[in-house]
Each structure stands twice: as structure tokens, then as C-alpha cells.
Structure 1
């Protein structure tokens, strides 16, 4: 991996690190200094002070695994079995050397996140040029879901390992692909999307037999964890079983959850919950935004480009103000599919196929919980978005401004133990 960093010039290093440091600085300032100022006990807000503020929701489960291993006390696997072992093992290693679990988790995730920015920059510069690479890194760093690359979660680690697996496979360094693939599939189940990606690319490009071996071996991390679950719980897919038994996930696509999110966008959550038109303004405003957007698009050749761009950006902002989190969650997956399709000619085949496989895995996961966060862990989506806005900088600057606003609000929500990765 160190050989990759030698391909980055001093100015490129500065840009990548600047994007990472500025965005992490906003998160840290918001969570450590601003969130406590907004603390209001009468509203039931909870704000931890100090480094504990970076541990909430899933974070304590990772720390619990690191200190006490998986819950094997009962006849059924505990809820923490759903979390894959590599990140907790790294935390345990840090604890062995005398550091606290909080500090180790933060350092691992942030270090991996910064390394991801450098790896992705090298990759995109190689395939799409320096301008596209800079936009990709800016969006990857400032995306509001990048907060999970700073708190005690696996986003930074998984992004790094999956990006390295994809890059080394594209470079035909199959031994390295196997190493990074095993580590990625030991970090998160969505790493399994690497296997069909590599098999398809190997078949499509008529690669040597070693490429097929690399594709197969890449799933070794999940295989090893599956053997662990088989031994302790007599269930090789216990990490999936607990999601159905304890998290109420459904088999296949969660049509009900998707229907609810789409209804919240179009007719409004209040109307959907009541089953009647209690709030007629929501569907009216949604239709109005759609009509104006269609009119702008239809007459786009008659409207100056600058007015067209800023008008559409304004309509997107109004739609978010109207629909809120349901819109962001839906766009993360369905919008991601559209984005990949539109960029298929400009993306490398490895990034394109991996994006489709990973999104397909999310769609068939049986739930809509945390889809926006999990979609952020698919590096192909950030690459596709960065390449797209590099061709229209106005959209890029508007997107960065919107991302910055959401990054602050998401940081506040996480610090106050409010749900950030949206569920309907």
C-alpha cells in the first residue's frame, strides 16, 4: 500500500489531507464543543462529554465484542453476533497494549479513513484524471455520512479494505487482492459483493485462472466467521439469523419499508400514517416542485445554464426540506443505481460492477435500516458522484455546501444520541 502513496505529489498530498482534516475538524468541533452548548435536559437530550461522545448506537457493541467477545451465554446467538470480527479484534489488540477501547476505536477508524482518501485519489486519478479525483475526495470527505469514518464504526476500515481489494484486482495484483478481500469480508457482510464482481470481471475480460482464485479466496473473511458461528451456535449464518430474529428484517426486498419511504416523500408521513389527507400541503408542494422541475428541463435550452443549474439545485433543496430523511435514504440507494447507470461509460468496469453488486445486496437485505450509511460504504457511489460533478462544477459546489450543512446536523444528532442512519 505504501507504494501507492509514492504516486501522489506533494500538492496532491496537501489537498487530500486538507479535505480530510477540515471535514473531521467540523465533526469534532460540533460534537465536542457545540453539542454540549445545545444540551437541554428537559428535552431528554443525552450528550456525552470528552471522547465518549464518539461512542453511540453500534459503537458499544463493537467495544463489548473487543473486551468480552461475542455473546455465547444463551442457546441463541446474541445481537452482537451480527457485527463482523475484524474491527473488534483490532480494538482488542490496542487494549492489549494498554490503550482504552474508545481511543483505539477512534484511531483505527480515522486512520483508515484518511488512508482511504489517499487510495481512492490514486485510483481515480489513474482512471479519470486529477480533476475528477479531487472532486471524488472532496465529496467522500464532506459527505454527511462520513461522520461514521470518525466515530467508533467500521466505515473507514471497510472503505479502505474494499477500495484496496478493487484497486489491486484492477491492477492484476491478485495475491494482494486476496489479502485485502479476506480482510474486507471479515469487516462487513457487504464485502461479499467483491466475489461476484471479481468473477464477472474475470469472465468478461478473460483473465487468467488466478483471477478466479482471487475472487473465491476474497470471501475467506466471511467464511472464517461463518465457521466460528457454526462452532459456537450450530448455525453458520448466525450473523444473518439474528437480524431476522432480533431486528425484524424481512426475507428479500422490504417492499413495505420502501413503500413507506416513497409515500413519505410524495404524500407526507402524516398522511401516510393516518391513511387520510390530513395535510394537503405536502402532496401539493411535491407536485408543484415536480411540475417546475419538468418545466425547467423541458425548456432547458432556452434558459441560461447558470440559472438552470441554480434553479434545479434550489428545487432539490426545497424537496429535502419537504421530505427530509426519507428522501436522503431513498436517494442513497435508488439514486445510486441511476447514478451508476449514467456514469457507466466513465467508471472503470471494476468500480461499476462492484457498485451494482453491492447495491443489489443492500436492496435484498430485507430492511431499510441504515441504508444511507451502508450505501456510503460503497466506494463506487462516491466515485460516480465525483466524476459527474467534475463535469459541472456548479452542481459540485452546491453539493458540497449541502453536504457541509448536513455534516454539522448529523454530528449534532449523533452527539445527542439521535438516530443518524435513517430508518422509517
Structure 2
């Protein structure tokens, strides 16, 4: 972001990257800076973007660090990076306690090398949210209810998806007959969003201002975004231009897609004759081809629907609290009425990194090809964000 991105020409819709803190500051970062410098704003005109849609813990921590004399871009970058580092360390020790060193290494590698870990290093809330939710889940799993309530409250003060911890903790408390302390901790988790709601009521006379303000992004969209996901799937299969015009104007895209699918079937059909090594390299090559053909939409579909399947596949291996949390979080993501940033929100589900770490431990041949692919995407995503281009 600092060294490579500045060599790229200025994009038509973005800005030129420079060797400065500016490369970590774009999109939602701008709104957090407004909150820290000018406070929250809200009005009844929900068609305009209001800063009250962004939760308060991250801006508060940035403001505290700025009292040392650091400018916003430096302080906020440090807050997210330090929190992300702490989340990686915490995940490692938690998975090591459950499954051993090898699984812990690959779960941590997944969280660190997934291309959306970019958002744990820039001025966003991913690092802080991952730290709070991981700590809350681990504490509840180990029956440390005071810490679970503490970290859970911080989670709901960081981002709205933190509320999925509440039904998760309540279900596990009921399933395992945890007792009254577990139920109290479950409900106390909502303290972060309750306090923010109280602030909105006092300041703007609207306790749900943070929800109403999000209509500027979502409009009237609600429920499962069937049309959006179908459009994305069609762009993968037949190409964007063919979907746009409603007929096959450019036949090469669906033709190449068909060739890749048929090649994958033939590899699987003759896997015994070819051998595992050749089949493995063949599938890696075909995956790169289909990704080059389809682009970000393919990876987005895989991390959403493939992630759901992965959690279900390892439902008996990962702790129940992480499985339920993952499913509740995916349920929230798929019921926003939109598909924008869905992959970034899915990355924020720590359960997914734990399950993927177990997958890599079980299938060694996947490990380094997956990490190499992650590295390619991470480089491209980082350069795009540094130039103020949309990533997720």
C-alpha cells in the first residue's frame, strides 16, 4: 500500500496513492474521522448519510489515543492494528487449547492471510470487532461469564452484528443448562447497544437512530436479496455484459466457463488414473482460471455460501457457541436486503477462521495453494484500497 500502490497511475474514479497515512484512510474511514472530530449527526431525512449509523467504541478509543498528541489517521490505524494483532493471538491460544498447535497455526493463518484481513490493518472496525467477539466467545465457552459479558458488551458497542452474541449465548445456556449466571451474562452482552440507543434517544430523540440512518445505504431493501445474489451468480456464469443486455452478446465468457466446468468434471472422473498430485494441481489451475474469468463475485459467493457449508460440515468439531454464533451472523448478513460488503462481514465471523483452520489441518494439500491465492488477492485488494477504489 505504501510502496507498490504509488507507482500505479491515478485511477479515473479514485485517487493517487502516496507514501503516507492516507493509504489507510478511505470509504468508511472518512465517517469515523467525522465522528471523532465533530461528533455524531442525525436528522429525519434518512436518505442522507448520517454518522450515527456507525457505532461508538472505535471512535471513542481513537479519541482517547489522540489525547497523546497523535493525529486521527495515526491513532485510528494503531487502534485497529493492535486490536487485530490481539485477536490473532487470542484465536491462536484458544484453538491450541481445543485442537493443538497445528490447527491453531492454520486457523490463525486463515484469519491473517484472508484477503479481507486488509480491513484489520486500515481505519475500519474489523480488528476491534474480531478481538471483542473472539474474547466473548472464548470466555463464554470456558464459563467465564463476567468476561463474556464484558467483551460481549464491547462487541455490541463496536458493530451492530455483535447482537448475534445474545441469541447465541442464550441458546447455549439453554442447551447445556448453564444456570442463571449464564443467562445474566447473555443479556448483559446487549449493554453496549442499549447504552448507544439511550444516547441516541437523549441526543436525537430517536432510540433507533442508528438503524434508521442505515436506510441511506439499504433504502427499503429487506430480507434475503434474492435478485442481488442471482445477478451475481449470472455474472459468474455468463458474464456481466451478457447479463446486462439480457442475451449472449459475448459468447466467450459462458464458453470458457463451460470449458472449465467440463475440465473439472473430467479431472474428478479420471482422478484415480491421473493420481492425486496431478488432480490437485489441475484443480488449483482451474480455480485460478475461473477466478480470473469471474472476478470478485466468485470469491464473494464462495465465502458466503461456502462458509455456511463449512460451518455445518464442522458443526460437531467446533464449540457449539462458535457454530451457533456463525449461523446467527450469516442469518443477519443474508437478511439485510443487500449484498454489498457481505463478504467483509462474513470475514468478521471468527467461527469461519476456526473451521477453515481445521479444514487445512485435515487436508494438507490445500494449505499452501490456498495461502498463495490469499496472498495474490491481498496484494490486489490492498493496492485498490490505497488508491481509494472499492474493495468490499
TM-score for both structures, normalised by structure 2: 0.95
- Aligned position for 2:215: 244
Larger deviation: 44-53 or 166-175?
A: 44-53
1:150 corresponds, among 110, 115, 121, to 121
- Aligned position for 1:46: 16
How many angstroms does 1:43 deviate by? 8.0
> How many angstroms apart in 2 are the aligned matches of 1:64 and 1:348?
39
SS in 1 for 2:16: coil
Q: Rate the CA distance shift 1:103–1:151 in 2: closer, same or farther, 3 A.
A: same
Larger deviation: 313-322 or 405-414?
A: 313-322
> How many angstroms apart in 2 are the aligned matches of 1:132 and 1:398?
17
1:101 pairs with 2:72: yes
Deviations 1:273-331 (A, max 9, x none): 11110111222222222223233334444442222222222222111111101111111
Map of 1:186-335 to 2, 5 A cutoff? 186-248=157-219, 250-335=221-306
2:5 corresponds, among 35, 44, 50, to 35
> How many angstroms apart in 2 are the aligned matches of 1:352 and 1:60?
34
1:129 corresponds, among 85, 100, 115, to 100
C-alpha RMSD of the superposition: 1.7
1:141 corresponds, among 93, 101, 112, to 112
SS in 2 for 1:373: helix
1:70 pairs with 2:34: no
> How many angstroms apart in 1 are the aligned matches of 2:311 and 2:94?
17
Structure 2: gaps spanning 5 or more residues: none
1:420 pairs with 2:378: no
CA contact (8 A) 2:13 2:389 kept: no
> How many angstroms apart in 2 are the aligned matches of 1:130 and 1:387?
11
> How many angstroms apart in 1 are the aligned matches of 2:63 and 2:37?
6
How many angstroms does 1:44 deviate by? 6.0
CA contact (8 A) 2:17 2:386 kept: yes
